[in-house]
Amino acid sequence: MADYNTISANAGKRTATVDAGLKSHMNKVYSTMSVGMVITAVAAWAIAGLATTTDPTLAAAQLPNGKLLTSFGLTIYGTPLKYVIMFAPLAVLFLGMGSVMRRATAAGAQLFFFTFATLIGLSLSSIFIRYTGYSITQTFLVTAIAFAGLSLFGYTTKRDISGWSSFLIMGVIGLVVAMVVNIFLQSPALLFAISGIGVLVFAGLTAYDTQNIKNQYLAHAHHGDQDWLAKSAIFGALNLYLDFLNMFQFLLMFMGSTSD
């Protein structure tokens, strides 16, 4: 009887330790993600400020909505450089993520994430020119509420949603292809379909990625590899950051009021 009680007590201690570690791990994930979002927002706001002016004497061009572009703004929004800015984050993500995860230290992985967040801010800066500040703020708040609920579901659900993976990855690939095609077609109907499907896909990914982050921690926590766990938290933050950001952009297509 004494042996049974000892085993039960030790199991309880291990469970409490794992739970505490998981809570700390998830806090690291969400805090790193939040810092990334702040970096992106500040970078986008700063670039948009440098790209526009209210002084006609400093303007190099005027957009149809009346916004005045500086010479810097004309360069990044009115030349082929805009395509480099648009696709640079994707190139960095796909070409660099695997090697960083394998070779970099936790500090290197964090630097990679924050550099990527800065590039995303540059590519997103045009939303401050296209949409009103009120609609951007409103959409951000709606996205934050939806993200919190979906992530909470992914963390607390007892249902295994790993089976969503194949469907969601196919959805992301389909969205990327459709978005590239629509750059040339400029079809409002296709844009509407992309927006609706995009919201659903990244809503699903938010729940899936949250559960996956939790499961990965539980599977590897007993190994005690602190460097791996630290990098895992950073890349978990990157995944959730991308989910939030994409859901925000697709919702903005629905909810955003343009600065006409």
Q: Which of 42-51, 84-93, 117-126 is predicted with the least confidence, judged by mean pLDDT?
A: 84-93
Question: For residue 5, is pLDDT > 90?
Answer: no
Tell me the three state secondary structure of residue 60.
coil
Question: For residue 40, is pLDDT > 90?
Answer: yes
pLDDT of residue 98: 73
Q: Bigger pLDDT: 221 or 144?
A: 144
pLDDT by residue (tens digit) across 106-153?
Answer: 888 899 999 999 999 999 999 999 999 899 999 999 999 999 999 999
User: Average pLDDT, whole number, for the chain?
Assistant: 88
30-57 mean pLDDT = 95
Partnered with residue 69 across adjacent β-strands are: 52, 61
pLDDT band at 17 (very low <50, low <70, confident <90, very high): confident
Partnered with residue 52 across adjacent β-strands are: 69
**Cα(101)–Cα(112) distance, rounded to whole angstroms?**
10
List of residues 6+ apart from 197 with CB closer than 8 A:
171, 174, 175
33-56 mean pLDDT = 95
Question: For residue 3, is pLDDT > 50?
Answer: no
pLDDT of residue 95: 77
Q: Which amino acid is at 78?
A: G
**Cα(260)–Cα(68) distance, rounded to whole angstroms?**
13
Give which of 163, 158, 154, 167 is closest to 211, Cα–Cα. Answer: 154
Q: Which of 3-17, 61-75, 219-233 is predicted with the least confidence, judged by mean pLDDT?
A: 3-17
Q: Bigger pLDDT: 237 or 94?
A: 237
pLDDT band at 29 (very low <50, low <70, confident <90, very high): very high
Q: What angle do CA 157, 251, 35 make, to 5 degrees?
A: 70
Give which of 28, 65, 87 is closest to 234, Cα–Cα. Answer: 28
